[in-house]
Every structure is written in C-alpha cells, then in structure tokens.
Amino acid sequence: MILIMKSLLINIGLLLSSLIILFLGIEFLLRVTGLQSAKPNPPKIFMQSEFPDISYELIPNLKNEPAYKGHVSTNSLGFRGPEINTKNRTIAIFGDSIAFGYGVNDNETLDHYMRELIPERNVLNTAAPGYNLEMETAVYRERVKKLNPEVIAIVFYFNDLTGTIGILDDKGILRSSDWDPSQKDCRPIETGLLGYLPGKCWLDGHSAFYKAFKKAIDLRSSKQRKIEEQITSESKPEEDDVTNEQLADYSAQLDTFVSLMRENQKRIFVIWPDQFLHEPSRPKIKSLAEERGFEVIDLYETFSNKVPTLPWDTVHPSPEALKRAAKSIVEVTINHET
C-alpha cells in the first residue's frame, strides 16, 4: 500500500510538473512572439486633442503603426490614409471604428476601396474608434470644414445612439467618460471552472496565457450570443431596444452637424447593420436623415443583419464587407453629382 501511494504521489507530481512546464512554455512563447502581452498594450496611435469636444485624435504622420491586429498610417492632418491632393474634390467620411477600419490594414479600409473606384477623388477618413456624432461634429467644425469637402458621408452604427464622448487615459487606453481611474481594472473569466480559480485578477493582469485563453472564451461566447440575437431578431422583427428619446437626442446632434454644412454639399448617410434588424426604428432614422437632405444608404438591404466580420471579432466588418459597402457609397456619390 505504501508503495502504491508513493507511486501515485510521484505520478501526480510529474503530471503537475508537466502542466506547469507547459503553461510556462506557452506563456514564454506568447510574450516573445508578441501574440499576447501580459500587461495592457494599447495601440500607440492616439493623442489628446487640443479641442475638448473632440477629446482624442489620431497621431499625424504614422507609418504602418501596429494597431488592432492591423497596421495604421495617417497623413499630416492626423487622419487615416494618404495625403489629400488639393487639386481633387474631396469626400469626407465621418464615423467610429467601423468607418475607421478597426482590425484591417490601410489597403483594406472603406476609404481605400472607395479611392480604388474613384481615384480622381480624395476620400478623407476622419473616423476613429469610439467616436460618436458629437465628436464627429467637432472634427468637422475644427478640422475638416476648412478643407471644403464636396461630399459629407456619415457612417451610422446603432451604438451611436447610446455612446458618450470617450477619453484617453495616461496609458493611451480609450475609456468611457464615466471611467473611474481609482477602480481596479479587472475583468477575469467568471464562468465555468475557471470562475472559481483563486487569484483571477492577478492572472488577468500578469499572465499572457490567461489573457489569451480569456479572449478565446469571450470570442466563442460572443459568437454564440450574436447568432442567438440574429435569430431572435428575425423571428421577432417588431422588437427593438431603440427608444424615442435616443432618436430625439440623435436628431438634435444631427441638426448641429448640418447647421455647420454648406447648403450645396452632398450629404450621404450610411446605416451600418448590427445583429438586430431594428425594423421599428430604422425607418425613423432614415426619415430624420432624409429630412436633413441626406441620401440614405441602408446597408441592411445588402447584408441584412449578417455583416461578415473579422475572424476574431463579432462587430467589426471584414475587408470583403468594407469593399461591398464602398461600392454602394461610390455608386450613390457618382450618380448624384451636380
């Protein structure tokens, strides 16, 4: 019996040692290859804006800076994309991470695909992750209006109805306006067996392996939840979480933007789909844009509520989706020229 217990303890010790060595090996590889960092590693593409209403901006003159699993370049104005040609007419795009091109390279963004279709135009991408219409309005007022663009294209996503002006913390991480820096930044795995693991917050802040594993679990859960929400929305299209108060607030914000525009500027309003059909609110959004002189492109007619997204993401569109959207925007822009 003693020999059996001794053998069992030895085997358990060997198993635990092997698991620890495997864990440390994966931890080392993730850190060395840069696939996952243990500490927060925000993209180095943002800076504080001199204009409080904009809050933060992209750093000018970036060259292939790694960000969000892609590479980002900016022009001297601090907008993603190449320098504009002052001899060409300009289309200015406003939006958040969708229009910005989160997770894709410079040659896979919405504005890049538009330039391929209309190389005789400047397509100025003024979007940035986390922007809402108030921030986009400030960008137009302070940075873009003087460029006198002939076309204004607003890319609307439904979280624009609930978003607030974000801020950039001292580490370069984008935060919501109600962020409390005194609170511990800990979001560990709370489900399954790992939810009972002691020291979760320490692992979340110090282990690359744990953070990578957490991302994989979160992505799987997000994909499952998205599919369920798509199916539910299709079976109950009359259900919608958009409120009349949100629409009224957005309408007022759009009025502020329009008040800064020239009367003869072409106006394009792009409705970018999420996983919900928004059957009750979508016609209202379309109507409030049209009442303000916008030509509306409803991409639900192209994608329904199933826009192809990045493999590691359930929100941001794939290059193929951005390319299809660019074609729709260009067709409207060219067909309605004066």
Q: How far apart are CA 223 and CA 229, in angstroms?
A: 10
pLDDT of residue 161: 94
Integer Cα distance of 317 and 103 in angstroms: 9
| pLDDT on residue 171 | 86
Please tell me the pTM assigned to this model: 0.90
Alpha-carbon distance of 68 to 140, in angstroms, equals 25
- Is the pLDDT at 95 greater than 90? The verdict is yes
Indicate the range of 91-105, 162-176, 207-221 predicted with least confidence.
207-221
- In the predicted model, is pLDDT for residue 127 greater than 90? yes
- 231's tokens: 């199916």
Which of 58, 56, 60 has the alpha carbon at shortest distance from 75? 60
Over residues 32-61, mean pLDDT: 87
Specify the pLDDT at position 183: 75
Main-chain dihedrals φ then ψ at residue 156, nearest 5 degrees: -95, 130
Mean pLDDT (the chain) is: 89
pLDDT of residue 34: 64
Q: Is the pLDDT of residue 41 over 50?
A: yes
Both tokens of 181, joined, read: 């820096």
Q: What is the pLDDT of residue 39?
A: 74
- Residue 32's pLDDT is 65
Whether the Cβ atoms of residue 93 and residue 126 lie closer than 8 Å to each other: yes
> What is the three-state SS of the chain?
CHHHHHHHHHHHHHHHHHHHHHHHHHHHHHHHHCCCCCCCCCCCCEEECCCCCCCEEECCCCCCEEECCEEECECCCCCECCCCCCCCCEEEEECCHHHHCCCCCHHHCHHHHHHHHCCCCEEEECCCCCCCHHHHHHHHHHHHHHHCCCEEEEEECHHHHCCCCCEECCCCCEECCCCCCCCCCCCCCCCCHHHHCCCHHHHHHHCHHHHHHHHHHHHHHHHHHHHHHHHHHHHCCCCCCCCHHHHHHHHHHHHHHHHCCCCCCEEEEEECCCCCCCCCCHHHHHHHHHCCCCEEEECHHHHCCCCCECCCCCCCECHHHHHHHHHHHHHHHHHCCC
Q: What local confidence, expressed as pLDDT, does residue 236 receive? A: 93
pLDDT, tens digit (0-9, with 9 covering 90-100), for 305-317: 999 999 999 999 9
Lowest pLDDT segment from 1-15, 107-121, 189-203, 257-271: 1-15
Residue 271 has pLDDT above 80, yes or no: yes
What pLDDT score was predicted for residue 72?
A: 98
- According to DSSP, the residues that pair with 155 across neighbouring strands are 270
Is residue 111 a contact partner of residue 149, using CB atoms and an 8 Å limit? no
Question: What distance in Å separates the CA atoms of residue 156 and residue 329, rounded to the nearest whole number?
Answer: 13
Asked if 42 and 171 touch (Cβ cutoff 8 Å), the reply is yes
CA-based R_g, the chain, Å: 24
Q: What is the pLDDT of residue 333?
A: 83
Could you give the CA distance from residue 48 to residue 11 in angstroms, rounded to a whole number? 57
Does the structure show a pLDDT above 60 at 338?
A: no
Mean pLDDT confidence for 275-292: 97
Of 20-29, 90-99, 168-177, the least confident: 20-29
Q: How much is the average pLDDT of 68-86?
A: 96
pLDDT at 203 over 80: no
Residue 59 clears pLDDT 90, i.e. is over it:
yes
- Tokens encoding 73: 């370049």
- Rounded to an integer, the average pLDDT of 239-247 is 95
pLDDT at 90 over 80: yes
Strands 65-67 and 90-94: unpaired
pLDDT at residue number 186: 77
Q: What is the pLDDT of residue 23?
A: 66
Share of the chain above pLDDT 90, in %: 67
Neighbours of 38 (CB within 10 A): 17
Question: How many angstroms separate the first and last alpha carbons of the chain?
Answer: 94
**Amino acid of residue 286:** K
